[in-house]
Amino acid sequence: MKKILLLGGSAQQVIAIETAKKLGYYTVLCDFLTDNPGQYVADKFYLVSTTDMDAVLDVAQKEKVDGVLAYASDPAAPTAAYVAEKLGLPGSPYKSVEILCNKDEFRAFLKENGFCTPEAKGYTDTREALADIKNGTFKYPIIVKPVDSSGSKGVSRIDCAKQAEKLLEYA
DSSP line for 64-89: T-SEEE-TT-TTTHHHHHHHHHHHT-
pLDDT the model gives residue 131: 94
pLDDT the model gives residue 151: 67
Does residue 13 lie within any of the structural domains? Answer: yes
Does residue 56 lie within any of the structural domains? Answer: yes
Shared domain check, 85 and 125: no
Shared domain check, 157 and 77: no
Domain that holds residue 135: 115-170
The CATH number given to whatever domain includes residue 25 is 3.40.50.20
Shared domain check, 76 and 123: no
Q: What is the mean pLDDT of each run of 10 residues along the chain (171 residues)?
A: 98 98 98 97 98 98 98 95 98 96 89 92 91 93 83 88 92 88
Judge contact between 61 and 46, C-beta under 8 A: no
Residue whose C-alpha is closest to residue 31's, from 79, 66, 65, 64:
79
Residues 6+ apart with CB under 8 A from 43: 21, 26, 27, 28
Q: What is the pTM of this model?
A: 0.83
Residues 6+ apart with CB under 8 A from 69: 4, 5, 6, 7, 16, 20, 80
Does residue 55 lie within any of the structural domains? Answer: yes
Does residue 51 lie within any of the structural domains? Answer: yes
Number of domains in the chain: 2
Query: Which tens digits make up the pLDDT trace of 60-91?
Result: 999 999 999 999 998 999 999 999 999 999 99
Shared domain check, 89 and 19: yes
Q: Last residue of some domain: 48, 76, 100?
A: 100
Shared domain check, 121 and 96: no
In 125-144, which positions are buried (b, 16+ CB within 10 angstroms) versus exposed (e)?
ebeebeeebeeeebeeebeb
SS3 151: coil
Judge contact between 141 and 130, C-beta under 8 A: no
Q: How far apart are CA 162 and CA 133, in angstroms?
A: 11
Q: Last residue of some domain: 68, 100, 132?
A: 100
Q: Last residue of some domain: 47, 72, 100?
A: 100
Q: Which residues pair with 157 in a beta bridge?
A: 143
The CATH number given to whatever domain includes residue 165 is 3.30.1490
